[in-house]
C-alpha cells in the first residue's frame, strides 16, 4: 500500500498563491485562469475556488505585498536613499508578489490598479513625511524612478543595470531620489 502524504491546507494555499503570482506575472490577469493555476499546483480547480472564491479574489491576494517602509521623518536628506533603496531591493528580490505584479501591470488594468494601491497606501504616505512641499508630485516622481528601475533591472534585464551591485545603484539613483524629495521645483 503506498504511503500517504500528509496534507497541509496552509502549504496548499501558499502553493496556489505562488502559482497564481507566476501565472499573473507571465500571462497577465486576463489570460490567467483558475484552472491553469490549479494545474500548475496539481490540485483540482475546485480547491482553488474553495480557498479564493473567484479569480478577482485570487488576484487581489496574490498581488498583496508590504514594503515595510521605515519612518523617514528623522532621516537626514543625504541619508534618504540609503534608507529607502535597501528596502526596495529586498522587496524586488525577495518578495514573490512584486515582480509578477510589476510584469502584469504593464498589460493589465487590474494589476496596474493593484500597483497604484500599493503606492497610495504605502509609498506616498511614507514619502509625504519628508517632502518639503508638493508631496503627491514628489512621491509620484520617486515612484516613477523606482518602478522604472525595477522594471529595467528585473524584467527587461537591461545591461548594465542588471549587473550593477546594490551599492552602485544607490550611488547613481540615490541622489536622484533625494533631489525629487527635497529640491525646489523651478
| pLDDT tens string 82-93 | 999 999 999 999
Is residue 27 pLDDT above 90, yes or no?
no
pLDDT given at position 152: 96
Residue 77 has what pLDDT?
Answer: 82
Grid cell for residue 84: 529607502
What percentage of residues in the chain have a pLDDT greater than 70? 96
SS3 146: helix
Residues across the chain? 186
Give CA angle at 56 (51, 59), nearest 5°: 75
The set of cell numbers assigned to 169 is: 545603484
> Average model confidence (pLDDT) for the chain?
90
Cα atoms found within 13 Å of the Cα of residue 136, Cβ hemisphere only: 2
Q: What is the pTM of this model?
A: 0.80
pLDDT band at 56 (very low <50, low <70, confident <90, very high): confident
Give the separation between CA 97 and CA 102, rounded to whole angstroms. 9
Amino acid at each position: 500500500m503506498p504511503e500517504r502524504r500528509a496534507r497541509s491546507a496552509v502549504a496548499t494555499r501558499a502553493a496556489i498563491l505562488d502559482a497564481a503570482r507566476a501565472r499573473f506575472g507571465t500571462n497577465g490577469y486576463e489570460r490567467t485562469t483558475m484552472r491553469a493555476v490549479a494545474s500548475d499546483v496539481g490540485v483540482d480547480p475546485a480547491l482553488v475556488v474553495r480557498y479564493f472564491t473567484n479569480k478577482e479574489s485570487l488576484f487581489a491576494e496574490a498581488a498583496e505585498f508590504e514594503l515595510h517602509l521605515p519612518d523617514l521623518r528623522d532621516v537626514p536628506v543625504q541619508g534618504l536613499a540609503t534608507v529607502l533603496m535597501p528596502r526596495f531591493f529586498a522587496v524586488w528580490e525577495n518578495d514573490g508578489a512584486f515582480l509578477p505584479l510589476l510584469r502584469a501591470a504593464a498589460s493589465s488594468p487590474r494589476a496596474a490598479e493593484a500597483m497604484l494601491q500599493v503606492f497610495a497606501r504605502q509609498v506616498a504616505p511614507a514619502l509625504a513625511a519628508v517632502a518639503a512641499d508638493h508631496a503627491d508630485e514628489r512621491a509620484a516622481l520617486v515612484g516613477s524612478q523606482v518602478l522604472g528601475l525595477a522594471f529595467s533591472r528585473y524584467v527587461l534585464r537591461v545591461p548594465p543595470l542588471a549587473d550593477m551591485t546594490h551599492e552602485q545603484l544607490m550611488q547613481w539613483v540615490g541622489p536622484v531620489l533625494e533631489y525629487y524629495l527635497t529640491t525646489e521645483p523651478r
